[in-house]
């Protein structure tokens, strides 16, 4: 019995040393934390919407590999990217339910390559905006099929459109990856699905339309895939369920509700985006930073105490087209976001990481949008990024060690109990 317990302790230690961090498990939530292979998981990562598009051309695939290689050498562990491109030029889905195999192979490659570099993926399933199709393309497809639709927001309401979108969900989740031989829905390289990039429904400011849509689609995703986490893709604007928070919103209402939407069954964690340079474009840099501080504080607190779910800052950045831009200002903004995450995480809080917008690699000038970061060219920001990765990794190690110690104590207690049980009663 004693030998067995010792062997168990040894096994747990060795397992933790060799296998935790190998990244072969599914990331899941436990309370307000993400867990991977028994340890808390913190995400320092990036957005790169272009991965599938670029990888669909085999002669360009080295750019995807370079991006992952540079990201992983700066300690980045999560990439958020598009698993959609609907209609238009080089589409993944060229008509409802009809897919371009060349593009799908591009996405297969992205997933296979992410796995090779130890990077987990957040895959978004549709776009609110008309870039790469979006809800407008879906609504137009339904119009061509004879539906009478008056608004792009009918994406969230019309049964035919919802059917098209569900078909896309089903197609992606059941895709057989030609490089890895693994169905997407069984692949632990995928951290989470995202229903839509920044869902907005301005035609219904009450928020009921988006709420109903998230509920329906979350349960649809979970009916196919219970292994992966799911998030809604929200920017984090508050709605009617939290009147005391409305003052944190920039002054526009887009029909979403951070609290109610993220409470939906099937939504595993909350997301927040932050673009004070766009949302408060007429304010100065100082006011934008003060907005950012309050915005993040509010959301991190609410994730922890109201939603009881982890929260990921899935987009933030600063454009070099902003008036008076300097890379110093961008570094200050990154440090502000990173510090909020760190301050929460080191006390065991709900903030689990941040993904900046957007990572490019050399020779991708046509993808520049003002927010781009090329790690090999923008060294001051690259330093800020790797420092954060290092700090989050320290926290992860501390919690992993604490957990090891806890397991060791439990094993010892079990051993003592077993030994005592062996003694004759009354002696
Ligand atoms: C990043 O580096 C490129 C190339 O050196 C430069 O053109 C660009 O202005 C830099 N961006 C920032 C934000 O410093």
Contact in structure between 84 and 132 (CB atoms under 8 Å): yes
Give the separation between CA 157 and CA 260, rounded to whole angstroms: 18
* Lookup result for tokens 């501390």: 398
Task: Inform me whether the pLDDT recorded for 183 exceeds 80.
Answer: yes
pLDDT, tens digit, 9 for 90 and up, residues 272-295: 999 999 999 999 999 999 999 999
Residue from 377, 380, 381, 382 whose mutation best tests the ligand 1 pocket (most atoms within 8 A of CB): 377
Q: What is the pLDDT of residue 2?
A: 56
Contact in structure between 232 and 199 (CB atoms under 8 Å): yes
- Residue 378 CA, closest ligand 1 atom number: 1
Task: Inform me whether the pLDDT recorded for 14 exceeds 50.
Answer: no
Task: Inform me whether the pLDDT recorded for 136 exceeds 70.
Answer: yes
Q: What is the pLDDT of residue 16?
A: 47
- Residues annotated as part of the active site: 198, 315
Please give the backbone phi and psi of residue 70, each rounded to the nearest 5 degrees, phi first.
-65, -40
CA of 377 to the centre of ligand 1 (A): 6
More reliable by pLDDT, 9 or 122: 122
Is any ligand 1 atom within 6 A of the Cβ of residue 162? Answer: no
Q: What are the CA-CA distances from residue 133 to residues 63, 371, 402 (Å)?
A: 24, 22, 47
Is any ligand 1 atom within 6 A of the Cβ of residue 378? Answer: yes
Confidence of residue 35 (pLDDT cuts 50, 70, 90): very high
DSSP assignment letter at 11: H
- As a dihedral over the C-alpha atoms of residue 320, residue 323, residue 325, residue 331, rounded to 10 degrees, the angle is -90
Give the separation between CA 253 and CA 311, rounded to whole angstroms: 22
CA of 374 to the centre of ligand 1 (A): 8
pLDDT, tens digit, 9 for 90 and up, residues 61-91: 999 999 999 999 999 999 999 999 999 999 9
Q: What are the CA-CA distances from residue 67 to residues 62, 79, 155, 187, 217 (Å)?
A: 8, 10, 34, 21, 32
Q: What is the pLDDT of residue 19?
A: 42
Is any ligand 1 atom within 6 A of the Cβ of residue 320? Answer: yes
Q: What is the average pLDDT across 106-126?
A: 98
Contact in structure between 184 and 228 (CB atoms under 8 Å): no
Confidence of residue 128 (pLDDT cuts 50, 70, 90): very high
Q: What is the average pLDDT across 362-372?
A: 97
Is any ligand 1 atom within 6 A of the Cβ of residue 382? Answer: no
Residue from 321, 374, 379 whose mutation best tests the ligand 1 pocket (most atoms within 8 A of CB): 374
Contact in structure between 149 and 143 (CB atoms under 8 Å): yes
Burial class (CB within 10 angstroms; exposed 0-12, middle 13-18, buried 19+) of 393: middle
More reliable by pLDDT, 161 or 14: 161
CA of 278 to the centre of ligand 1 (A): 20
Confidence of residue 420 (pLDDT cuts 50, 70, 90): confident
Task: Inform me whether the pLDDT recorded for 9 exceeds 90.
Answer: no
CA of 286 to the centre of ligand 1 (A): 23
DSSP assignment letter at 174: T
Confidence of residue 402 (pLDDT cuts 50, 70, 90): confident
Whose Cα sits closest to atom 12 in ligand 1? 327
Radius of gyration, CA atoms only, the chain: 23
Give the separation between CA 424 and CA 427, rounded to whole angstroms: 6
Whose Cα sits closest to atom 5 in ligand 1? 377
Please give the backbone phi and psi of residue 28, each rounded to the nearest 5 degrees, phi first.
-130, 170
Q: What is the overall mean pLDDT for the chain?
A: 93
pLDDT, tens digit, 9 for 90 and up, residues 144-172: 999 999 999 999 999 999 999 999 999 99
pLDDT, tens digit, 9 for 90 and up, residues 214-239: 999 999 999 999 999 999 999 999 99
Is any ligand 1 atom within 6 A of the Cβ of residue 330? Answer: yes
Q: What is the pLDDT of residue 75?
A: 97
Q: What is the pLDDT of residue 408?
A: 80
C-alpha closest to that of 375 among 357, 391, 365, 362: 362
Say whether the peptide bond before residue 217 is cis (omega within 30 degrees of 0).
no
- Domains in the chain, CATH or no CATH each: 2-129+168-410 (3.20.20.80)
Q: Which residues lie closer than 8 Å to 59 by C-beta, 6 or more apart?
A: none
Whose Cα sits closest to atom 4 in ligand 1? 377
Is any ligand 1 atom within 6 A of the Cβ of residue 318? Answer: no
């Amino acid at each position: 019995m004693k030998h067995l317990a010792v062997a168990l302790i040894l096994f747990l230690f060795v397992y933790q040393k060799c296998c935790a961090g190998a990244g072969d498990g599914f990331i899941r939530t436990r309370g307000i934390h993400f867990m991977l292979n028994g340890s808390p998981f913190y995400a320092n990562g990036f957005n790169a919407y272009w991965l599938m598009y670029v990888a669909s051309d085999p002669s360009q695939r080295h750019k995807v590999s370079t991006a992952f290689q540079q990201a992983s050498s700066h300690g980045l562990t999560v990439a958020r990217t598009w698993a959609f491109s609907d209609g238009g030029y080089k589409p993944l889905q060229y008509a409802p339910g009809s897919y371009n195999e060349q593009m799908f192979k591009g996405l297969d490659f992205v997933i296979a390559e992410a796995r090779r570099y130890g990077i987990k993926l957040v895959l978004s399933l549709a776009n609110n905006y008309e870039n790469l199709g979006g809800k407008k393309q879906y609504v137009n497809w339904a119009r061509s099929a004879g539906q009478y639709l008056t608004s792009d927001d009918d994406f969230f309401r019309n049964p035919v459109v919802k059917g098209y979108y569900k078909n896309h969900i089903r197609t992606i989740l059941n895709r057989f990856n030609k490089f890895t031989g693994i169905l997407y829905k069984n692949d632990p390289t995928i951290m989470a699905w995202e229903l839509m990039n920044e869902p907005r429904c301005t035609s219904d400011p009450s928020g009921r339309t988006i709420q109903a849509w998230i509920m329906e689609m979350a349960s649809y995703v979970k009916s196919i895939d219970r292994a992966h986490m799911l998030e809604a893709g929200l920017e984090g604007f508050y709605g009617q369920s939290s009147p005391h928070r409305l003052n944190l919103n920039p002054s526009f209402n887009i029909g979403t509700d951070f609290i109610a939407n993220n409470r939906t069954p099937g939504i595993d964690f909350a997301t927040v985006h932050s673009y004070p340079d766009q949302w408060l474009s007429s304010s100065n840099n100082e006011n934008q930073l003060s907005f950012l501080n309050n915005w993040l504080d509010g959301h991190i607190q609410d994730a922890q105490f109201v939603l009881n779910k982890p929260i990921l800052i899935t987009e933030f950045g600063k454009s070099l087209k902003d008036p008076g831009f300097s890379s110093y200002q961008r570094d200050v903004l990154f440090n502000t976001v990173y510090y909020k995450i760190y301050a929460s995480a080191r006390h065991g809080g709900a903030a689990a990481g941040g993904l900046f917008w957007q990572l490019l690699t050399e020779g991708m000038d046509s993808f520049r949008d003002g927010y781009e970061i090329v790690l090999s060219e923008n060294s001051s920001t690259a330093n800020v990024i790797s420092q954060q990765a290092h700090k989050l990794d320290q926290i992860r190690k501390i919690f992993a060690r604490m957990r090891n110690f806890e397991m060791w104590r439990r094993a010892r207690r079990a051993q003592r109990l077993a030994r005592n049980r062996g003694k004759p009663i009354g002696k």
